Amino acid sequence: VVEWALGEFGERLCVTSSFADAVLVHVVSKVAPGIDVVFLDTGLHFAETLRVREIVQRTLPVTVRSVRPEQTVAEQADEHGPKLWARNPDECCALRKVEPLERALSRYDAWAAGLRRDESPSRANTPVVQFEAARSKVKVSPLYNWTQADVDAYISRYNVLVNALLRQGYASVGCWPCTRRTPPGADPRAGRWPMFDKTECGLHQ
């Protein structure tokens, strides 16, 4: 999948990563060394997530582009009130994730994301390649049919960096105000926005 995307789009292809692990980045870097990796630096990440970013920057042949929102967390609080994530998480995600992604993708024709069909019911029909009409971009999901067992085997085989939080009861890692540990056997994304009927931030809808 990555080879096809690289052949089609070349330098107009990027990868996005939340740095819950470095699996997708590792996979893509083997095919496209030097590729841009877009990271949405919301200003609300766990220290463990930022550590993954820092180590990836130092150890893998990729170019990490950290993209920040237009406003700092303090500036957002001044305009929208404190702790917007606790009152209107959709708006907070729009300001701190969706808008920065749209801005970051403006220089590319295609992007690769780490979505997997086994992650949650909302991702069960993830296509391997799709044209996003709203963005006028092609989105590829190279890991679309990987299982958690596949991910674990890849991590073990290549000693791929993993966010320390995944070993502390977090099945999915996002911004710290909206991420909780996941009960055993629950939907892996059940720890995201646990006080709301919400499992996606809007990047993949």
Q: Per the residue annotation, which of 14, 93, 178, 201 is the catalytic one?
A: 201
Closest CA to 53 of 67, 64, 68: 64
- Count of helices and strands (H, E) across the chain: 8, 6
The structure tokens 């966010």 sit at 163
The CB-based long-range contact list for 170-176 (8 Å cut-off, 24+ gap) reads: 172/20, 172/119, 173/18, 173/20, 173/46, 173/48, 173/49, 174/18, 174/201, 175/42, 175/44, 175/45, 175/85, 175/96, 176/44, 176/45, 176/46
201 is catalytic: yes
Give me the active site residues, please.
201
